Amino acid sequence: MGTYTRLGLAGAGVTCGLLLLALSVGHNGDDDPAASTQPKNATAAPPKGPYVALGDSYTSGPGIPAQTGTPAGCDRSDRNYPALVAQKLQIKAADFRDVSCSGATLADLSAAQTTGDGVNPAQLSALSASTRLVTIGIGGNDIGFGSLVESCVKQGALYVATGSGKYTGDDAPCRGRYVSDSGDTDEVRQRIQAAGERLADTLREVEHRAPQAQVYVVGYPAILPAKGAGCDDDMTLAPDDATYLDDKERQLNSVLREQAASAGAGYVDTYTPSAGRDACSARETRWVEPLIPANAAAPVHPNERGERGMADAVLRTLKASR
């Protein structure tokens, strides 16, 4: 989702340097994060452009060849989901603008973003009255998901080194850092709600700049298994902390969907089709890579298979509007 804030998901023997290498995005179970929905400007056929793609690193596709576009620090791939959607819809190159960027937050949609290699103009500046299709994949960096996972990985290494809960009886040492003993206060949940409010403002601005566009908020694919099992080899996390991280991702997706619906925008569910294809699944089927990628991609980010799956989800949602 993010800088790709080189966020780390590490094993017990992985150094702190590697811990800085990973993600950059990030359920309470109250809401179903699935259920793709349609925008108010949906038409009988998908638009042929102009199409503008906004978003963070889960949209841009860092590490997936070939990297393209400017600035280079945005880490865009010519095989990310916006490029695949544009290709499938036969949108002319002149009518397609991908301005997504690794590390982007909602604030970077309305202001210039400095990267490690160049400055990305405010993403919303790519919109105009002629724009007919907009996809937005963002929010993970706003909740600090990268730092959250890094914290949980460090706790996971300690958890294993001290007997895997044998002596403490605590299978969620990281969760306890963010959730009060009573369970009434959850710091990450509060961040998610704040991100939802910022997204609402953003969607109003998108409608102002591109009033005739079909707008779709694209949710995040499954990053970790819902039950917190199967990650021992690739990413060391206490079992209930893995579940907690998945809960927070699902909760973020739910808020993205709710805000999209409130604004009259569509929502694209990428979590459901990616279930079982998370970073802890087999190399041949996973959509998201673990800390040490086996397929071309940034650590804890979608690989080419994942970007293709996300593109398919966008296209299915567009087709459903017919």
Q: Give the whole-angstrom CA distance, residue 249 versus residue 241.
A: 12
Residue tagged active-site, from 27, 102, 274, 301: 301
User: Is position 301 annotated as part of the catalytic site?
Assistant: yes
Residue tagged active-site, from 24, 27, 36, 57: 57
Hey, which residues are catalytic here? 57, 301
